[in-house]
Structure 1
Amino acid sequence: MKNKFLKGAHLSERKFKEILKLFSEDLTATQIANISGVSRVTINSYLKKIRMQIVRFCENLQSETAVSGVHRLHRAHGADVVQDTAVGVKPEVDRLMRPVIFGIYKVDNKVFTEILPDVSRSMIQAIARGRSVLETVGTAERIRRFNGVVDLGQYRLYHLGNGHHEPEAKAMLDDVDGFWGLTKHRLAKFKGLNRNTAFLHLKECEFRYNNRNEDLYGVLINLLKTFPLNLS
């Protein structure tokens, strides 16, 4: 069946666009399945692929702005600006023991996030209080390049004070707070977030926040027209 948005689809383009429209309106998989008449299993499969394409888009945008934007911003504060690779999950034992912790920073009017798999709750609390121990000095400097860090286990945002003396400081803090408000509201709908899917949902929140003033359905249509999904 021909579908320019979904290669190898057994679903019409019209039906897929209906699903995409419902997704853009931030409905749950159950709600989308009930409205569209498509099985929950199929909806979950499609939504995962849509989110994975959103992740690729966000990471490409992030890499394009990182070299100039992040380095320019944090060079002014004398911070370590080594760019980390975002990691979605850790080994099995860490999934059971560590909370999901991520950093938030803003560059060129866009908010970006990175999951920090090697950062513990106690590290964030110490750094937020302006303290660090010898073993975590490098980690502390790396964390401080973010404008905020969130502990998803406690649904808590820590402001780290970066950029408070810059002219755009208030706008930066407003965006960090605004992004966390959106993310907290959205993730609460899932009533517990699987660590394996945390990265997908986090990047979806990033995408939604950065396109909050746009027609999200139109943005998604253009994205999937350029980079279609593939069921294989």
Structure 2
Amino acid sequence: MKNKFLKGAHLSERKFKEILKLFSEDLTATQIANISGVSRVTINSYLKKIRLQIVKYCESLQPESTPNAATWLQRSHSHTDAHETAIAVKADVDRIIKPVIFGIYKQDNKVFTEILPDVSRSMIQAIARGRSVLETVGSTERIRRFQGVVDLGQYRLYHLGNGHHDADAGKALLDDVDGFWGLTKHRLAKFKGLNRNTAYLHLKECEFRYNYRNDDLYNVLMNLLKTFPLNLS
């Protein structure tokens, strides 16, 4: 069936556009399945492919990462156990195996995020106490890139104060960090027991949604998938 957005699709282009529209409105997979009449299994498969394309797009825009910082796509292929490592959010904090920690920074009027696998909860807490521990482990320069760091397991944002010296610019930057975390916290609260790769997919989706919050997200997605169609294979 011909579908310029989805190679090898068994759905019509019209039905896929309907699914994409519902996704852009931030409905859950269950809601999309019920409205579209497409099975939940198929919807989950398509939504994952859409999110993977969003990840690739967001990472293509991201300023150069710190040395030795691999993209999520590279890490996911080199660490096969990443798919199996569960994380928890605040409601399930006692079941956390290892917290997921990510940094937030703003550049060129866009907010970017980066998973920090080598930053521990104790290190973040040290930031709030004055960062003395960070200097002993040589992570200070890397952490200085971020205006905020989030411990996803505790659902807690730590402001780092790494911004403009200008008060107005600093406030705008802080507003964006808080605004992004507010959106992310609200969206991720709908999911529990996410594995690490799924958490990252949703994190980058939040980044994408926040950066295009003033645009018609459906049209943005349409243009993205016209340029980079999904592939079922």
Q: TM-score, normalised by structure 2?
A: 0.86
- Whole-angstrom distance in 1 between the partners of 2:41 and 2:53: 19
- 2:203 is matched with which residue? 202
**What is the letter of the counterpart of residue 220 of structure 2?**
V
The correspondence of residues 1-232 of structure 1 with structure 2, limited to 5 A, is 1-62=1-62, 66-67=63-64, 82=67, 84-87=69-72, 92=81, 95=85, 97-133=97-133, 136-167=136-167, 168-232=169-233
Q: Rate the CA distance shift 1:188–1:134 in 2: closer, same or farther, 3 A.
A: closer
- Secondary structure at the aligned position of 1:169 is classed as helix
**What is the letter of the counterpart of residue 85 of structure 2?**
R
Check whether the contact 1:149–1:157 (CA below 8 A) recurs between aligned residues: yes
Check whether the contact 1:127–1:140 (CA below 8 A) recurs between aligned residues: no
**What is the letter of the counterpart of residue 143 of structure 1?**
I
**What is the letter of the counterpart of residue 156 of structure 1?**
R
Check whether the contact 2:127–2:134 (CA below 8 A) recurs between aligned residues: no
Identity %: 82
- Whole-angstrom distance in 1 between the partners of 2:193 and 2:81: 18
The structural deviation recorded for 1:229 is 0.2
Check whether the contact 2:147–2:160 (CA below 8 A) recurs between aligned residues: yes
- Secondary structure at the aligned position of 2:132 is classed as coil
- 1:74 is matched with which residue? none
1:170-200 per-position Cα deviation (integer Å, ceiling 9, x unaligned) = 1110000000000000011123432221111
Q: Rate the CA distance shift 1:82–1:54 in 2: closer, same or farther, 3 A.
A: same
Check whether the contact 2:105–2:113 (CA below 8 A) recurs between aligned residues: yes
- Whole-angstrom distance in 1 between the partners of 2:36 and 2:136: 51
- Cα RMSD after superposing both structures: 2.1
The structural deviation recorded for 1:204 is 0.2
- Whole-angstrom distance in 1 between the partners of 2:67 and 2:145: 9
- Whole-angstrom distance in 2 between the partners of 1:53 and 1:173: 29
1:32-56 per-position Cα deviation (integer Å, ceiling 9, x unaligned) = 0011010000000000000000011
Q: Rate the CA distance shift 1:184–1:134 in 2: closer, same or farther, 3 A.
A: closer
Across the two proteins, how many residue pairs are aligned to each other? 217
- Whole-angstrom distance in 2 between the partners of 1:29 and 1:231: 18
- Secondary structure at the aligned position of 2:30 is classed as helix
Q: Rate the CA distance shift 1:139–1:16 in 2: closer, same or farther, 3 A.
A: same
Q: TM-score, normalised by structure 1?
A: 0.87
Runs ≥4 residues deviating over 6 A: none
- Whole-angstrom distance in 1 between the partners of 2:14 and 2:42: 16
Q: Rate the CA distance shift 1:39–1:160 in 2: closer, same or farther, 3 A.
A: same
Which stretch of structure 1 is more off in the superposition, 31-40 or 188-197?
188-197
The structural deviation recorded for 1:143 is 1.4
**What is the letter of the counterpart of residue 203 of structure 1?**
K
**What is the letter of the counterpart of residue 119 of structure 2?**
V
